[in-house]
Structure 1
Amino acid sequence: MNRSSHLLIGFSVFCALVMALMPLPLSVEPFRPDWVLLVLMYWSLAVPHRVNLGWAWCTGLIMDLAMGSTLGVNSLTYSVCIYITASNYQKIRNFSLWQQAFLIGLFLTLYHLLQFWLNHFLIDIYFNPQYLWPAGAGMVCWPWIFLLLRKYRRHFRIR
């Protein structure tokens, strides 16, 4: 059961990676939610003993390699967000779905601000308010991601 649970969680993260890399029209691209981080946050809330900082760090490295970004930026930012999520999972689970969505939006905002800050020091970019639009899109998508992955977890009995 242990190995199959890790494979099923890995499959959902892989699907999120595919969605993150899938091309979108230029008019929609600035609003692309952070699928991988949303999926990792769900799993860190649902099964924090299985998905933790190790998953976040490795998935962040894969994202860095796939996106061609500076190596370690996604790893660090994913790890910070998953640490906060996993360390407070008992509190966050008790919130309603809309309260969770608001909190997830704050975590996604933190993720984007940390990414901007790291990239500002590494490759000298400047802040643009468009950087935070995916946080709002992720907040809107959270209830559907939560419900879909909960159904997936219950169907395959991932514990």
Structure 2
Amino acid sequence: MNSGSPVTPGGGGFIIFATFLVGLMLSQVPLPYMIEWARPEWVAMILIYWVMALPHRVGMGMAFCLGLFLDVIKGSVLGLNALSLTIIAFLTLLLHQRLRMFPLVQQAFMVMVLVGINQLLFHWMQAFTGYTGDSLIFLLPCLVSALFWPWLFVILRGIRRMFRIR
């Protein structure tokens, strides 16, 4: 056995779960009113990373469960986040081999597109439930998420390598 980095029992499922838990907590941290609309989509970005890095372990089922949990936490209509995150996981699964080859700047652009699709789907479905927005400011998180992507990618890759999650 190689000493130097810990071996995760169970293949790192707990670590993956813990990163999603941190993302859920970050999605609920109170922010000042002026920057509330600029909150990065932490859960979607962490989901994109794990689907891209480990498509055989994290997929659409995990995205659906995560979305249901996010719906309960945020108090939104049950299934809205679940459906939009499942679609994002599907698109990431389709593109994961290409995404892995892209440099971080191109990945950040693709994350901006994927999070933008997530935001559009969520707000489109909210319109069916009676909520209507007045402007396109709801798309601001996709830009902010793209700016945070390189750092999040490096952190999650470091965690994956440190705990040898495969």
Which residue is 2:116 aligned to?
A: 109
| Match of residue 54, structure 2, among 39, 47, 62 | 47
Quote the RMSD (CA, aligned, Å): 1.1
| C-alpha distance after superposition, 1:43-102 (max 9, x if no partner) | 000111111001100000000000000000000000000100012111111111100100
Which residue is 2:45 aligned to?
A: 38
Please report the TM-score for the alignment, with normalisation by the length of structure 1: 0.96
| Match of residue 72, structure 2, among 58, 61, 65 | 65
**CA distance in 1: counterparts of 2:93 and 2:26, whole angstroms:** 24
Alpha-carbon distance, 1:141 to partner: 0.5
How many residue pairs match? The answer is: 159
Please report the TM-score for the alignment, with normalisation by the length of structure 2: 0.92
Residues 79, 157 of structure 1: CA spacing in aligned structure 2 closer, same or farther, 3 A cutoff? Answer: same
**CA distance in 1: counterparts of 2:109 and 2:53, whole angstroms:** 18
**CA distance in 1: counterparts of 2:29 and 2:61, whole angstroms:** 25
- For the 8 Å contact 1:116–1:127, the answer to whether it is kept is no
Select the structure with the greater relative contact order (CA < 8 A; seq sep ≥ 6).
2
Alpha-carbon distance, 1:126 to partner: 3.1
User: Percent of aligned pairs with the same residue?
Assistant: 36
**CA distance in 2: counterparts of 1:64 and 1:28, whole angstroms:** 21
Quick check: 1:9 aligned with 2:55? no
Which residue is 2:5 aligned to?
A: none
In structure 1, give the amino acid aligned to 2:108. Answer: A
**CA distance in 2: counterparts of 1:12 and 1:127, whole angstroms:** 34
Alpha-carbon distance, 1:134 to partner: 0.4
Q: Which structure 1 residue ranges, 5 or more long, are not aligned?
A: none
Quick check: 1:144 aligned with 2:151? yes
In structure 1, give the amino acid aligned to 2:102. Answer: F
Q: 4+ residue runs of structure 1 moved beyond 3 angstroms?
A: none
